Amino acid sequence: MEIGFIGLGNMGAPMARRLIEAGHSLVIYDTRNDAAVPLVALGAKLAASPADVADRAETVLASLPEPHIVAKVATGAGGVIEGRRIKRFVDLSTTGSRVAAEVAAALAAKTIVQIDSPVSGGVAGAQKGTLAVMVSGPAAEIAHVKDALAVFGTVFVVGDKPGMAQTMKLANNILSACALAATSEAVVMGVKAGLDPAIMIDVINAGSGRNTASTDKFPKAILPRSFNLGFATALMTKDVRLALDEAKALGVPDDIMRAVGRAWETAFSEIGPDKDFTTIVQPIERRAGVVVGKQT
């Protein structure tokens, strides 16, 4: 299948590579020219703009950082909306349901169908093809792309309306954000009391406190102080802000989400938006006057 792919970052590059390895023919674009080089070496064709991608493929996938960039790439000047061949736009980014619905409506005016397909499972999941792929959109259009999306991991069709998969993704990510923020506070508390953080993580993982931060983020990136899982604090903070917007729009309780949001805003402003999201532990360490893991 001929597929367009826009956005070749931490997630997009390994997903695009997996599509090529599965036998698909790719037309790719990223504003960073160097991002395309390894994929061109694998046989992908380089396009000059999102509109050029959409001139050359019926199915165009995108993995982009922020909702306003998704909107611009999809519906702005030079966007996929101007393409002559495109039939469906599949957004792999975390965009939020409001922007997803706006993009879907704008594309529908040009008879292009939008399919939401945000993913979860991190860079390692993108590399190994073990992502959770959450999909919403018209069933007949999803049928066209389901096999291609299965290259990324397990496909869950969660609804037929634009934005439903985005709400699913935000529910997942607010839990992931909460687990990392809460585990950081709990482990810092133990370290301040003299506990060994590695032993704490072993105990938590054998007990009822086990979660994705204790099983994955602490052992891989916080205890070794490598802070290198490939997801920027800016993007996790964006996801938490989107979850709060979603809760507000739906009129549902959000007390815990707001507390989690404060922890991410602190990491965003004190440690920096471009740092790996596992650095959320650092503002908590600073306030406690301890360091988790070995000294830097």
Q: Could you list the residues that contact ligand NAD (CB under 6 A)?
A: 6-12, 29-32, 35, 63-65, 69, 73, 93-94, 119-120, 122-123, 230-231, 235, 239
Closer of 9 and 261 to ligand NAD (Cβ): 9
Of residues 29 and 264, the one with the C-beta less far from ligand NAD: 29
Residue in 215, 238, 186, 222 with CA at minimum distance from that of residue 294? 222
In single-letter form, the type of residue at position 109 comes to A
Neighbours of 250 (CB within 10 A): 10
Question: Minimum distance from CB of 71 to ligand NAD (Å)?
Answer: 10
CB of 233 to ligand NAD, least distance (A): 11
Nearest distance, CB of residue 14 and ligand NAD, angstroms: 9
65 to each of 2, 174, 254, how far by Cα in Å?
Answer: 24, 17, 25
Of 173 and 282, which has the nearer Cβ to ligand NAD?
173
Task: Answer yes or no: 169 catalytic.
Answer: yes
Cβ nearer to ligand NAD, comparing 7 with 293: 7
Question: Least distance from C-beta 139 to ligand NAD, angstroms?
Answer: 24
State whether residue 47 is helix, strand or coil.
Answer: coil
CB of 213 to ligand NAD, least distance (A): 14
Complex with ligand NAD: residue 62 or 281, whichever CB lies closer: 62
**Number of residue whose CB is nearest ligand NAD:** 9
Give CB contacts under 8 A, 24+ apart, made by 48-53: 49/78, 50/6, 50/74, 50/78, 50/79, 50/80, 50/83, 51/78, 51/79, 51/80, 51/81, 51/82, 51/83, 52/27, 52/83, 53/4, 53/5, 53/6, 53/27, 53/28, 53/29, 53/80, 53/83
| Per annotation, catalytic residue among 169, 192, 248, 294 | 169
- Beta carbons within 8 Å of 81's beta carbon, 6+ residues apart: 51, 54, 74, 75, 106, 107, 110, 112
For the annotated catalytic residues, the residue numbers are: 169
